[in-house]
Amino acid sequence: MNGPAVWVDGQASETVTALDRGLHYGEGVFETIACLNGRARFLSLHLQRLALGCRRLGVPLPPGLRAELERVAGEGSRSIVKALLTRGAGSARGYRRGAERGTCVIIRYPWPEEAEPRAGARVRIASVRLGENPALAGLKHCNRLEQILAANEADGAEADEALMLSSAGQLIGGTMTNVFLIDGPSGRWRVRTPEIRTCGVAGVMRQVLMREAARAGLAVEACALGLEDLEGAREVILTNARVGLWPVSALPGRALGPGPLTERLQRLLQPLLEAPADE
Amino acid sequence: MNGPAVWVDGQASETVTALDRGLHYGEGVFETIACLNGRARFLSLHLQRLALGCRRLGVPLPPGLRAELERVAGEGSRSIVKALLTRGAGSARGYRRGAERGTCVIIRYPWPEEAEPRAGARVRIASVRLGENPALAGLKHCNRLEQILAANEADGAEADEALMLSSAGQLIGGTMTNVFLIDGPSGRWRVRTPEIRTCGVAGVMRQVLMREAARAGLAVEACALGLEDLEGAREVILTNARVGLWPVSALPGRALGPGPLTERLQRLLQPLLEAPADE
């Protein structure tokens, strides 16, 4: 399995119509799903967010999507499966919706080499900020120019990830990750993550970490955070569906060592990440 | 000429690769060009904005685009030609750019029936607002979910266009138009249009109207405007590349009659709209 394998509306196909509103307007939603041992990890959570995005943005949710993703995941042992749903081929020009029936693109990528466990993420702060729109906040929609500009900033070559602020200056998350800050005196740790209210993506791994931490008696607070909170953090963790937990080893101007709470959270999530159950 | 005719990278084709970053991220820019008598109206201005968008967003600008658009426009007498440029097929997953070479989609649509001169636009105020991002402001990029949500609001069926505010509450423009407000005492008219600094599209027809008005000794001020300015306006005009000048006949709660300054501006632009010269 070298290049990606692609299915469009259930058929092996490399192409979509050039009239697709996904291509014209980014009118769609997507999920990036880690598949291990032939199983799609956290599939139910991915499907939940997809359904929410479809409802809020008027994108048709194809029936049988779960079965198709399970089948595609089952055909390889380790892979990254992307599900991309758009409004579909436009019946007319312009922003008003017509009788579109949606397009479903499933892509299976080889598991990337760089997704192996790594020492720690070197993080910078992006210059580009995130526009605020509560109607889009939380969703993994296909309007991603801000993240692309942030990820490709000229000074970004040395960093693994760029953290982004909202236009109002709040810390939101990385271009492809959510972020958790750990501080407080020893024994009375505090774990916080930016609230996703006006912008940003509410990641599946963010949700899993918050759920598992709560089950272990360790509450994670989602709240308004700024750069000063990042500067005051003892430990910083990035999360996404592919990498799982990704400890930060370097912030602008300072290095961070491996931290005790990060290690505790890693131990907590390791079983779920390695042997995916239905959830 | 019933349905649209499509060319991809210079070849007649109905499809693009499902790996195109335009489809995945809305990573592209577009222009919608009115073509009359086989000529693409304001082509140089459209190409200028396209080039600006390509430069700012890292989208390849294909050589020979002007010649291709002139050829496509020349094959029909009246049509709408859309040029859509994307970053192209992704060489890898994720937001970081690779060695993509761009995709160029040209679509020629039949001239729409509803583009005939009409009495006036009925305008509402959209509930969805525009997120603010100076890095994207002014460009006609392919991240258009906000405009789509605004254009499809449940209460919008009776209106021809929805005006949008920025997240900070400033008046920016319609989902597919720019807006001009005319007020002031008789004989000392004032023409103003929202500045496009943090969001919104700087339309080609907006630029033409400002240029021609200035040449006729009638300065148009681009400045910060709010809903109170809209409410105080005697005449309101929408502009876009297809319709040209579109007088507003109804705002929420009040009707607007044909106004003297609107008529003067219409007379000013009519020759340019009807018999397009090179610019």
All structural domains of chain B, each given as residue ranges with its CATH number in brackets, are 5-114 (3.30.470.10), 121-272 (3.20.10.10)
A72 band by pLDDT with thresholds 50, 70 and 90:
very high
Q: A90 in helix, strand or coil?
A: coil
Q: Which of B95, B105, B109 sits opposite A176 (nearest CB)?
A: B95
- Residue A91 confidence (pLDDT) above 90: no
- Residue A74 confidence (pLDDT) above 60: yes
What is the tens place of the pLDDT at every residue in A13-64?
Answer: 999 999 999 999 999 999 999 999 999 999 999 999 999 999 999 999 999 9
Distance, in Å, from the CA atom of B48 to the CA atom of A202, rounded to the nearest integer, reads 38
B19 and A6: CB-CB below 8 Å?
Answer: yes
Q: Which residue reads 């758009």 in tokens?
A: A86
Window B:44-63, CB contacts with A under 8 Å? 57-58
Asked if B90 has any chain A CB less than 8 Å from its own CB, the reply is: no
B131 and A136: CB-CB below 8 Å?
Answer: yes
A146 and B136: CB-CB below 8 Å?
Answer: yes
Distance, in Å, from the CA atom of B170 to the CA atom of B164, rounded to the nearest integer, reads 8
Distance, in Å, from the CA atom of A102 to the CA atom of A105, rounded to the nearest integer, reads 10
pLDDT of residue B156: 79
Per CB-CB distance under 8 Å, the chain B contacts of A13 are: 18
Distance, in Å, from the CA atom of A33 to the CA atom of A47, rounded to the nearest integer, reads 10
**By the 8 A CB rule, do B43 and B66 touch?**
yes
Asked if A97 has any chain B CB less than 8 Å from its own CB, the reply is: yes
Distance, in Å, from the CA atom of B73 to the CA atom of B138, rounded to the nearest integer, reads 25
Distance from CA of A106 to the nearest CA of B (A): 9
Window A:237-276, CB contacts with B under 8 Å? none
pLDDT of residue B189: 87
Distance from CA of B148 to the nearest CA of A (A): 5
Window B:172-201, CB contacts with A under 8 Å? 175-176, 198-199
A84 and B199: CB-CB below 8 Å?
Answer: no
Contacts of A117 (CB under 8 A, 6+ apart): none
Chain B residue closest in CA terms to A53: B145
Binned average pLDDT, 10 residues per bin, chain B of 279 residues: 87 97 98 96 97 98 97 93 96 90 97 70 97 98 98 89 98 98 87 98 98 94 98 97 95 92 95 76
Distance from CA of A99 to the nearest CA of B (A): 13
More confident call, B30 vs A188 = B30
B32 and A93: CB-CB below 8 Å?
Answer: yes
Per CB-CB distance under 8 Å, the chain B contacts of A4 are: 19
pLDDT of residue A88: 98
A25 and B80: CB-CB below 8 Å?
Answer: no
Asked if A9 has any chain B CB less than 8 Å from its own CB, the reply is: no
- Residue A279 confidence (pLDDT) above 70: no
A262 band by pLDDT with thresholds 50, 70 and 90:
very high
| Cβ atoms < 10 Å from Cβ of A137 | 20
pLDDT of residue B91: 74
Q: Please report the beta strands in B21-132, taking only residues with DSSP state E, as ranges in sequence order.
A: 28-36, 39-40, 79-86, 103-110, 121-125
pLDDT of residue B1: 43
Residue A253 buriedness (CB in 10 A; 0-12 / 13-18 / 19+): exposed
Give, to the nearest 10 degrees, the angle between helix B65-74 and helix B43-57: 140
Q: What is the mean pLDDT of chain A?
A: 94
Q: What is the DSSP letter of A75?
A: T
Q: Which of B8, B93, B147 sits opposite A109 (nearest CB)?
A: B93
Q: A3 in helix, strand or coil?
A: coil
Q: Which of A6, A132, A147 sits opposite B167 (nearest CB)?
A: A132
Percent of chain A with pLDDT strictly greater than 90: 87
More confident call, B15 vs A158 = B15
Number of H helices, E strands in chain B: 7, 16
Specify the pTM: 0.96
**By the 8 A CB rule, do B151 and B279 touch?**
no
- Residue A119 confidence (pLDDT) above 80: no
A1 band by pLDDT with thresholds 50, 70 and 90:
very low
pLDDT of residue B77: 87
Q: Which of B131, B147, B148 sits opposite A131 (nearest CB)?
A: B131
Length of chain A: 279
pLDDT of residue A259: 92
Sign of CA dihedral A211, A215, A220, A223: positive
Q: A161-183 as b/e, with b when 16 or more CB fall inside 10 Å? A: bbbbbbbbebbbbbbbbbbbbbb
| Cβ atoms < 10 Å from Cβ of B161 | 24
Q: What number of C-beta contacts closer than 8 Å exist between A and B?
A: 182
Per CB-CB distance under 8 Å, the chain B contacts of A24 are: 30, 84, 142, 144
pLDDT of residue B2: 66
A93 and B112: CB-CB below 8 Å?
Answer: yes
Average pLDDT for A208-223: 95
Q: B152 in helix, strand or coil?
A: coil
B133 and A128: CB-CB below 8 Å?
Answer: yes
Window A:118-137, CB contacts with B under 8 Å? 128-133, 135-136
Distance, in Å, from the CA atom of A112 to the CA atom of A242, rounded to the nearest integer, reads 10
Structure tokens at A36: 């291990």
Asked if B23 has any chain A CB less than 8 Å from its own CB, the reply is: yes
Question: Best mutation site among A15, A23, A140 for testing chain B: the one with the most B CBs within 10 Å?
Answer: A23
